[in-house]
């Protein structure tokens, strides 16, 4: 059951497939990936900047951008931008848990966007830009809740608002649909392209990257 309902039917055919290897990480975008690996889905606003942040982390095996948390099947970017599919812009992060922990990834997540602005990051407004963590196992869920609480304490100390981040399981969020090919690794292909992500000036006290 997806977290947000949409009104657009969508289509049976994916909008992207056969993406080959990631141009930065040189690993298969769509798998299979070497074991051991874990998968975590993160929403921090526009997915271009989020993906670049994540592919720079040591221990990350592969990244991809897509849509998740809605009900429209295989949505297009234009459909997601209407707010009528229910999806968020999401980055799929595949990582080696021996080299980087979910806590370390989530530390970077909290420190590089504003999780207190509901359905907005900077000038990007709409439910597709909501802050979200879609976990795939229990240890990730525990890490998401623990780091959220730790970072809320930091926000409180700085006089900031309450965290609005959606934290639900992959099963509740629903299918991750790959975004169109031109969105994948966008800031690798267009280095000076639009990006509103970067340090928010606060440090999450759990995990060291």
Q: What amino acid positions are annotated as catalytic residues?
A: 46
* CA torsion, ordered 45, 26, 39, 151, to nearest 10 deg: -50
Q: Would you state the structure tokens that stand for residue 180, as one six-digit string?
A: 């169109």
Cis peptide preceding 149, ω within 30 of 0: no
Picking from 47, 67, 120, 60, the residue whose alpha carbon sits closest to that of residue 93 is 60
Q: Please give the C-alpha separations between residue 49 and each of 7, 110, 122, 153, in angstroms, as whole numbers.
A: 28, 14, 13, 26
Q: Would you state the structure tokens that stand for residue 30, as one six-digit string?
A: 């769509």
């Amino acid at each position: 059951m997806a977290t947000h309902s949409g009104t657009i039917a969508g289509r049976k055919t994916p909008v992207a497939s056969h993406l080959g290897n990631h141009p930065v990480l040189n690993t298969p975008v769509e798998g299979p990936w070497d074991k051991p690996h874990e998968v975590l889905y993160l929403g921090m606003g526009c997915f271009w900047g989020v993906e670049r942040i994540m592919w720079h982390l040591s221990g990350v095996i592969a990244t991809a951008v897509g849509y998740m948390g809605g009900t429209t099947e295989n949505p297009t970017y234009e459909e997601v931008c209407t707010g009528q599919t229910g999806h968020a812009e999401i980055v799929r992060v595949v990582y080696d848990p021996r080299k980087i922990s979910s806590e370390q990834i989530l530390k970077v997540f909290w420190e590089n966007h504003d999780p207190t602005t509901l359905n907005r990051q900077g000038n990007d407004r709409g439910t597709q830009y909501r802050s979200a963590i879609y976990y795939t196992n229990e240890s990730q869920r525990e890490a998401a809740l623990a780091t959220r609480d730790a970072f809320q304490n930091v926000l409180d100390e700085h006089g900031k608002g309450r965290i609005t981040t959606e934290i639900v399981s992959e099963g509740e969020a629903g299918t991750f649909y790959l975004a169109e090919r031109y969105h994948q690794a966008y800031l690798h292909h267009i280095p000076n392209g639009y990006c509103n992500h970067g340090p928010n000036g606060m440090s999450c006290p759990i995990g060291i990257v």
